[in-house]
A and B are shown apart, each in its own frame.
Chain A
Amino acid sequence: MSKMKMADGSTVVRRNRPGTKAKDFCRWPDEPFEEMDSTLAVQQYIQQLIRHNPANIDLILKMPESQDEGVWKYEHLRQFCMELNGLAVRLQGECHPETCTQMTATEQWIFLCAAHKTPKECPAIDYTRHTLDGAACLLNSNKYFPSRVSIKESSVAKLGSVCRRVYRIFSHAYFHHRSIFDEFENETCLCKRFTQFVTKYNLMSKDNLIVPILEDENTPGESEA
């Protein structure tokens, strides 16, 4: 619940106090990006835009001037991994190791889970979980991403591989658990945003984008491991 001290003037305290109702969570006036002085400013800004309207993808992906592109991509990827948790939770109910014994999308390829020492053929739900956990470790690791305000050149390449693996979760859900995918997509527009994101910043090759999320991007290409 935002706390507006109207009597005092213009101090807005952006806090979720204990006792805040779910509908009031993070319901405070927006803060312009330029005025954000925290190290987590980019994350704050992105989350603010998404809360406003998750479907306004162009606005969400639009990078403010004077913002470092590497950091922008990094923070967006963090947000994607966080939101994908919602999809994973829904899949947990339906995607069982007995039914989806491997991580596949279309019939051509089987994806191996890279979270293990040697790539392993994990069942789909394990692949999903491991990929998300692995992405969390990587994106939070002090070694590759020690700072939230500047990204090392060498670490930018890692973003691409995370995107590729994470995309497979979308593709598996689309092809094997269509209802869950649709429900989730209606709520969050996450796949569409993700697709637009990786296209805009060239983080994945177009051939890998197999989920027909946009009318004009209906490429039935083969996916690669």
Chain B
Amino acid sequence: MEDNTLNHQNGAQIGPQTVSVTNNKQNEETNPKAQYSIPGILHFIQHEWARFELERSQWEVDRAELQARIAFLQGERKGQENLKNDLVRRIKMLEYALKQERGKFHKLKYGTELQQGDMKPPIIDESSETQMDIDQSYVAVSNSTWKQGRQLLRQYLQEIGYTDRIIDVRSTRVRALLGLNNNTEPEENHNGSSVNGNESNKRASETQGRRTPAKKPQPSSLAEAMMLDTEAAVMANLDFLSNADVDMEDDDDMSDDVDIEPSDDLDDDVKVVKRKGKLDSLGDDVDAEAMEVLNELNLLSESGERQEFKNEHSEWKKGFQSGVPKRPLGLNDDDNIDSALGLGELAQLTVNNDAETTYDIASSKEAFRKTWNAKYTLRSHFDGVRALVFHPNEPVLITASEDHTLKLWNLQKTVPAKKSASLDVEPLYTFRSHTGPVLCLAISGTGEHCYSGGLDGVINCWNIPNSNIDPYDLFEPDVLNTTLQGHSDAVWGLSFLNSKQHLLSCSADGTVKIWAPHNKVQLLNTFTSEADGIPSSVDFVRDEPNRIVAAFASSHCLVFDTETAKPIMRLESSQESVNLNNKQINRIVCHPTLPLTITAHEDRHVRFWDNHTGKMVHSMVAHLDAVTSLAVDPNGLYLLSGSHDCSIRLWHLDNKTCVQEITAHRKKFHESILDVTFHPTRPYIASAGADGLAKVFV
């Protein structure tokens, strides 16, 4: 006892002792720490804290990952649920279709009624069939399936981010399920070995010219009314299809009356698509999306039409952004899969891929470059427009014509026109002074002065009026700044060098002259080449100072040094002397940055020359007729060429490939396009035609 107590006491003592011991220990523990000193303690604590923080952040990351994974799995699960629903629906539809066809065969024996011949999308047909089935059996169920369908639609809307993936997944799964190959031939699809294909065949043949007898028997008057309403709504939506497939009528017949649900779904499709379209893209795409919807629908009908339709559709795709078509396509897919069951779905799947692939092609085409489209038409000249230049900064251009006048145009002052294809522009100012056709133009870098040369051998220097003047203002004689006389024959080429304010001209009198128009002594120098004949075009060499290049009737070009007036380099085009006229150079331009000279020839070629070596670097047949004009874009990447074959071509200078061809202008005698040009700072290109018009493309 005592021992116990003693023990106890001892224990108690030990307790405190142990406590104290522990205290001591703790002290010892702390003491050792204390031995390490306070900074050591702090360090340790900090270390531990950092570790905790690290762990916490790691937990956060893990949690985020897990959450994402959960979301993804949830999505997948939803997708699979939907898939399951679809499959269940399909089964129901197949069952119904079977019943339907049996019924039809039966009814055919008793004759059929004629249905109104509106175009109804087959999708309605499909769903109507189910609808009919449901109507026949359970009215209540129909409502529920309708609501279900709508709910699914809404869900899909919500799952926008997952839509594409799910569709792909589902479509591949479905296809795998049905053992269907990914054909682009809907016919093959129809003729495929799948049960659905056969069914579609049967159905198509069955309904050739026949009205589905299932038109009105079961539906209540209410349903009828609703159908008619939806029919009207669908018709309104799909009006523009009315000129399409004749064969669609077969399926339309098939489709009984437009039932509410399917057509509503369709409406939803269209509306949904349209809504999405507005959200995601420009208004243009809305039409395309609607077209896509209808495209999907049309797939249910004859295959041939489908192909054409798709082709039209893919042609439509020219202006569209790449990302957009995919999305609504996916949506359509969803919706269509929902509402159109069975074979319809399959057919749509294949066509979806078709459409997608075509979209991809179209979009990839557009990925590199912009397509130029005609925007403005400048009508006012009485005779062919020989030359045109853009103002350096403003959307203003000046045209020179064989009717002896130059005209100033402001692209922002368009005439309200009925036809919306391209806007008409009226001129702001007419420059009158030449007594013969005006053949060439040049503009100063500041846009203050422009220079014109004509058949009368005179070069006029004009002060360009403000681009906001009233066209019918008072005449001011000082618009004509100065006249450069010196040439004795027609002036065919002009070029201006901004850095020195020099003007270069070439004339049919055989000389090339360089002028400083605003100096006292205007004519600086004259260049000729006896052997080569008459110069047809000139340009300054832009990457080096004091050089000019002139193209001669002998089809050779000479590079002159402007200070010595001696030729430095000869750009020889290798050919026989026979038919020299054929190889005449119509235009020569120098690249703004590279030592490259480009010439346009009468023999349809465009040739590239190296300024340093004088050798021809490249030669290509550019057009079907003589190439009349060239223009290099301000960045030096593209080349525009115009030709008497009524076409303008845009070339990429790296690989010398044609990236776009535009047909414009009509022929007068044998001349068509006489000049092309780029705007120095804005995305405009313009062409001048012998028909008296100038066109601007954006």
Binds A, one of B21-29, B101-109, B311-319, B485-493: B485-493
Decide: A38 near B474, CB < 8 A? Known: A19-B534, A21-B490.
no
Interface residues in A105-122 by Cβ distance below 8 A to B read 113, 115-116
Q: Is B667's CB within 8 Å of the partner chain A?
A: yes
Interface residues in A48-87 by Cβ distance below 8 A to B read 78-79, 81-82, 85-86
A15 near B670 with CB under 8 A, answer: yes
B417 near A3 with CB under 8 A, answer: no
Decide: A22 near B644, CB < 8 A? Known: A15-B669, A137-B426, A140-B380.
no
B668 near A85 with CB under 8 A, answer: no
A92 near B477 with CB under 8 A, answer: yes
Q: Give a binary string over B467-498; 1 marks a CB under 8 Å from any A CB, 0 the rest.
A: 00001101101000000000001101100000
Q: Give a binary string over B596-638; 1 marks a CB under 8 Å from any A CB, 0 the rest.
A: 0000001000000000000000000000001000000000000
A126 near B404 with CB under 8 A, answer: no
Q: Is A130's CB within 8 Å of the partner chain B?
A: yes
Q: Is A192's CB within 8 Å of the partner chain B?
A: no
Max chain A CB contacts within 10 Å: which of B382, B536, B626? B382
Residue in A13, A39, A85, A92 whose beta carbon sits within 8 Å of that of B666 in the complex = A39
Cβ of A3 to closest chain B Cβ, rounded Å: 6
Cβ of A64 to closest chain B Cβ, rounded Å: 17
B472 near A18 with CB under 8 A, answer: no
B475 near A125 with CB under 8 A, answer: yes
Expressed in whole angstroms, the Cα–Cα distance for A44 and B477 within the complex equals 33
Q: Is B186's CB within 8 Å of the partner chain A?
A: no
Decide: A85 near B432, CB < 8 A? Known: A15-B669, A125-B475.
yes
Decide: A18 near B537, CB < 8 A? Known: A25-B490, A43-B668, A126-B474.
yes
* Contact residues in A for B456 (Cβ distance below 8 Å): 22
Residue in A20, A78, A130 whose beta carbon sits within 8 Å of that of B472 in the complex = A130
Binds A, one of B3-11, B236-244, B363-371, B434-442: B434-442
Cβ of A208 to closest chain B Cβ, rounded Å: 23
Q: Give a binary string over B380-424; 1 marks a CB under 8 Å from any A CB, 0 the rest.
A: 111100000000000000000001110000000001011100001
* Contact residues in A for B472 (Cβ distance below 8 Å): 113, 115-116, 126, 130, 133-134
Query: Which residue of the partner chain A has the closest CB to B509?
Result: A21
B455 near A85 with CB under 8 A, answer: no
B475 near A19 with CB under 8 A, answer: no
A residues in contact (CB < 8 Å) with B: 3, 13-22, 25, 28, 31, 38-40, 43-44, 78-79, 81-82, 85-86, 88-89, 92, 97, 113, 115-116, 123, 125-126, 129-130, 132-134, 136-137, 139-143
B residues in contact (CB < 8 Å) with A: 377, 379-383, 403-405, 415, 417-419, 424, 426-427, 430, 432-437, 439, 455-457, 471-472, 474-475, 477, 489-490, 492-493, 508-509, 534-537, 553, 581, 584, 586-587, 602, 626, 644, 666-671, 690-692
List 8 other contacts, CB 8 Å, given A79-B382, A133-B472, A136-B430.
A14-B670, A25-B490, A43-B383, A133-B430, A136-B381, A140-B692, A141-B415, A142-B424
**Between-chain CB contacts (< 8 Å), 11 pairs:** A14-B671, A18-B492, A21-B534, A22-B456, A25-B455, A38-B669, A82-B403, A89-B433, A126-B472, A134-B472, A140-B379
